[in-house]
Amino acid sequence: MTSTVGSRVSATLAAITYDVQFLASKISQDITKEADRLCVLADVPLSSALRILLGLAQDDPTASKLIQARLLWVEGGNPKEIVSLLRSLHDGGCAPATYLMAQAIEIGMAPEMRLDPAALFLESANQNYLPAMEYAADSLIAGNWGIERRKEAIMLLRKAAEMGSGASALTLSHALRAGDCLPEDEYEADVWLLRASQAGHPVAMEEVRFRRKL
């Protein structure tokens, strides 16, 4: 059984041709998405996928620390150790670590830290880290960080949508159609709806099909 799983993982890794530089670039985009992708491709649990990534990233200290922190988090490790790893990466300017640290603080994993998670999410978003951009834009537009700050979401939504985020493109389309936080524009709303659909967002794809029937 073990050899079968090992063979499947080896074959999968060969098929997707990982190398350390490629891995580091993917980790800088979204460690969670990359681990989830490997879970599906290799048919292994998330912790196993992270361990595979950790082995591949051993020559990249930043990627290794980031994966270690995520692995500890998934396996219910010591919160102080997790936050310590993330803090050291954050201090070195690692946007994904800043994003994860914001999440940790938001859920109460680091009560001793007197940092504003919203500010950390925005810091990571301002470094063009797409998951942080999506999260910050959604939080702002929903008024979670203050109703008076909702308009700040539009710039992030546009930027994230331009970077290929289907979710942000769809939210931007809805805002344009409703004239919410920016002038109403049906044409531009349709453009972003189509972009969201092309990015594979299921709700956008369904909405495009519905509108074509009208």
User: Measured at the alpha carbon of residue 30, what is the angle toward residues 193 and 145, in degrees to the nearest 5?
Assistant: 65
Q: Are residues 173 and 202 located together in one domain of the fold?
A: yes
Domain boundary among 77, 95, 111: 77
- The per-residue pLDDT string of the chain (214 residues; one tens digit each, 9 = 90 and over) reads 444 444 444 544 444 444 444 455 555 556 777 788 878 777 888 898 888 888 888 888 888 899 999 999 999 999 999 999 999 999 999 999 999 999 999 999 888 888 999 999 999 999 999 999 999 999 999 999 999 999 999 999 999 999 999 999 999 999 999 999 999 999 999 999 999 999 999 999 999 999 888 7
Q: Are residues 19 and 73 in the same domain?
A: yes
CA distances from 34 to 31, 40, 151 (A): 5, 10, 31
**Do both 53 and 87 map to the same domain?**
no
Look at residues 127, 155, 186 and tell me which one is the last residue of a structural domain: 127
Note whether 135 and 202 are same-domain residues. yes
| Distance from C-alpha of 80 to C-alpha of 170, rounded to nearest angstrom | 37
The confidence score (pLDDT) of residue 26 equals 54
Q: Are residue 21 and residue 71 in the same domain, yes or no?
A: yes
Question: Do 119 and 178 share a structural domain?
Answer: no
Instruction: Looking at the structure, tell me whether residues 117 and 143 fall in a common domain.
Output: no
Question: Which pLDDT score, from 0 to 100, does residue 15 have?
Answer: 42
Residue 192's CATH number: 1.25.40.10
Q: What is the model's pTM?
A: 0.82
Write down the pLDDT at residue 25.
54
Range of the domain at 93: 79-127
Q: 210 and 136, same structural domain?
A: yes
Can you give the pLDDT at residue 176? 96
2 with 61, same domain: the answer is yes
Q: How many domains are there within the chain?
A: 3
Residue 69: its pLDDT value, please?
Answer: 93
Residues 138 and 117 in one domain: no
Give whole-number Cα distances, 192 to 88, 149, 163, 181, in Å. Answer: 38, 23, 12, 16
Residues 51, 30 within the same domain: yes
Whether residues 108 and 31 fall in one domain: no
| Three-state DSSP string of the chain | CHHHHHHHHHHHHHHCCCCHHHHHHHHHHHHHHHHHHHHHHHCCCHHHHHHHHHHHCCCCHHHHHHHHHHHHHHCCCCHHHHHHHHHHHHHCCCHHHHHHHHHHHHCCCCCCCCCCHHHHHHHHHCCCCHHHHHHHHHHHHCCCCCHHHCCHHHHHHHHHHHCCCHHHHHHHHHHHHHCCCCCCCHHHHHHHHHHHHHCCCHHHHHHHHHHHHC
